[in-house]
Amino acid sequence: MAIEVIENKCVGCTMCLRSCPFGAIEMVNNVAVINPDKCVQCGACVDSCKFDAIFLRKHEDVVAPIEDFQDVWVFAEQKKGVIQSVVYELLGEGKKLAQKRKQNLCAVLLGDKIKAEAKKLIERGADKVYVLESSLLKEYLDEPYAQALTQLIKKYKPEIVLTGATTIGRSLIPRVAVELKTGLTADCTGLDIDEERGLLLQTRPAFGGNIMATIICPNQRPQMSTVRHKVMKEAEIDKKHKGEIIEIDPASVKLTSRTAFLKSIEDVAETVNIAEADIIVSGGRGVGSAENFKVLEKFAKSIGGAIGASRAAVDSGFMPYSHQVGQTGKTVCPKIYFACGISGQIQHLVGMQSSDIIVAINKDPDAPIFKVATYGIVGDLFEVLPHLTKELQKK
């Protein structure tokens, strides 16, 4: 889109100049002139002009036919040359989607001197791995990564593009979607294919987690989603699986950046990453205080677990945000999840319901948490946990 001025209609009244919130208009020889570097096409000047001298021109994009798009792509996020575990989850789910669409499962690996990692993606089920190496891609920067992925998508035309709902994924993929003028569904917890129409069914919490909405993108391609970490199972390693590594010539991809990477400061405040823990002991508002969380910490220590918390416990100041599990916190998928004094609202459940085993401890026998629990203990957590700790310490 672009704002244009019809010179022979402009009377120099300056109404458009005063209406522009971005200072993108100036008067030259009594005619309005639009500065394209400042203009965001908001249309305020169009509405203010009483002489029909300014209009918003909409450009029709030439879009390739939907049938030209093939394959399921997974963005292979890496940090310091190490592929992140969320990628393997996406490959596992992406394989199911690709099989239903009778297409290839592909991974896109961006970085510097990263080609050796492509083999791991093939062992996890990728049929093709597109590898682009450049010094500009050594550390994650929004602009060059978005430019690289956008150009590859335009060239190879995948039908579906998936990335993790991580800090990097949430920063990268909206930029790509805007450039491609296609839809994007964020924070998905489920993916499937409508086999009759061939559409990607993207399920995510909506309205504060009170309902699960399924979203489709019927008219544009690719169909794009970010997927929550730890809600899907990782693809199994199959060293016999064969795949193709496609090396992209860096000279064929235009990369620029207005920012530079200086240094990375690691977060040392959080000693245990609950997103990767096999055992999690979580407390809710029912724990009562930060002091009472020491009972949970003692129990967690006895079984080698990490400490989690519900949003209610974090909002009450019992635990820091880094321990929060749920829709507005972290999604976890441990082997065992202990929910202590947690009622089990949907906002919390979406962050932990994929756990292999859920043990609920609550005084209220009607608490919603018991509906998803593998084992339920109706009782006072301050009586139950010390007893369990004592028994476990014997062993």
pLDDT at 266: 64
For 274-394, which CATH class? alpha beta
CA distance 54 to 45: 7
> Per residue in 339-370, pLDDT tens?
999 998 888 988 888 888 999 999 999 999 99
The alpha carbon dihedral of 343, 344, 348, 353 has a sign of positive
163: confidence class by pLDDT, cuts 50, 70, 90: very high
Q: Are 347 and 208 in contact (CB under 8 A)?
A: yes
Q: Are the CB atoms for 287 and 296 separated by under 8 Å?
A: yes
- C-beta of residue 322 within 8 angstroms of C-beta of residue 270: yes
DSSP SS3 for 247 = strand
Q: What is the DSSP letter of 269?
A: S
Domain ranges within the chain, ordered by starting residue: 2-57, 66-252, 274-394
Give the whole-number percent of the chain exceeding pLDDT 90.
Answer: 57
The rounded distance, in Å, linking the Cα atoms of 305 and 271 is 12
- 25-28 and 31-34 strand pairing: antiparallel
Predicted TM-score of the model (pTM): 0.68
Judge whether 160 and 72 are in contact, CB under 8 Å.
yes
Assign domain 66-252 to its CATH architecture: 3-Layer(aba) Sandwich (3.40)
- Note the pLDDT of residue 70: 92
Is 66-252 the same fold as 2-57?
no
Confidence of residue 269 (pLDDT cuts 50, 70, 90): very low
Is residue 231's pLDDT more than 50? yes
Q: Which fold has domain 2-57?
A: Alpha-Beta Plaits (3.30.70)
- DSSP letters of 130-169? EEEE-GGGSS--HHHHHHHHHHHHHHH--SEEEEESSHHH
Q: What is the pLDDT of residues 123-132, one digit of tens each?
A: 999 999 999 9
Distance CA 162, CA 209 (A): 22
